Amino acid sequence: MTQFHQWFQELQAERAIKALKKNNFDARFFPKASEAVEEVWKMIPEGSTVGYGGSLTLNQIGFLEEAQKRPIQFLNPFAKGLSPEEGEKIRRQIFSADFFLSSSNAVTEDGKLYNIDATGNRVGAMIYGPKKVILICGANKIVKDIAEAQKKVKEWTAPMNVKRLGYKNPCGQTGECSDCASADRICNAYVILAKKPRRTDISVFIIGEFLGL
């Protein structure tokens, strides 16, 4: 990243954070992922129940690996070796967790969070259930507004996620959305958090790096 990219990205993040705060979210900027990770673990006491929403960003910054070493009860419905029934049970347990960590598909400069989900468990936990929600996003996820967020996620994020997860949806072959009816379709729930939900404490950590999709 050039100094000009960094300059522009930091201004974007500054606008987004200011707007997120106005919309009642706790929002913070971290130049480096390591700084955000350090802050996350300062917030999570030993013995806490911590739910994981599935996130390339969290994998990239080492959260998943570190969580498995910490003295916490880590609820990971994607852990290897789980049966579908066991994974589903953990997804439901996450709604009663002390903490829930994931990412957002897009963050707008006017302070909104935009997400698309396959089953709804990730966006559901963002909205209500866990006592504390922490969403970690690379600055590359910042967009101008909801219209741009929808375009980005439909044309960029969703096809690449399908390819990453190995699903047989058409967009994983063509790279273009066809509004499919596939059994593996991941674009089922479209959720906009325009303001912080009344009973959910949400922190949005924006990192000055390219993370996630």
Q: What is the per-residue DSSP string for 64-97?
A: HHHHTTSSSEEE-TT-TT--HHHHHHHHHHGGG-
Q: Coil, strand, or helix at residue 151? A: helix
Q: What is the pLDDT of residue 90?
A: 98
How does 145-160 read in b/e, with b if 16+ C-beta sit within 10 Å?
A: ebeebbebbbeebbbe
Q: What is the pLDDT of residue 15?
A: 98
Q: What is the pLDDT of residue 1?
A: 79
Domain 3-143+189-207: give its CATH code.
3.40.50
Evaluate whether 204 touches 195 at the Cβ level (below 8 Å): no
What are the backbone dihedrals phi and psi of residue 92, each rounded to the nearest 5 degrees, phi first? -75, -35
Residue range 40-57, pLDDT digits in tens: 999 999 999 999 999 999
Pairing of strands 99-102, 106-108: unpaired
Q: What is the pLDDT of residue 2?
A: 87
Q: What is the pLDDT of residue 183?
A: 93
Low-confidence ranges of the chain (pLDDT < 50): none
| Residue ranges in the chain assigned as alpha helix (H) | 3-22, 33-43, 56-60, 63-67, 84-93, 121-127, 146-152, 158-165, 171-174
Would you mind telling me the total number of residues written for the chain in this entry? 213
Q: What is the pTM of this model?
A: 0.96
What's the rounded Cα separation, in Å, for the pair 41 and 165?
28
Evaluate whether 137 touches 212 at the Cβ level (below 8 Å): yes
Rounded to whole angstroms, what are the CA distances from 78 to 82, 96, 140? 7, 18, 25
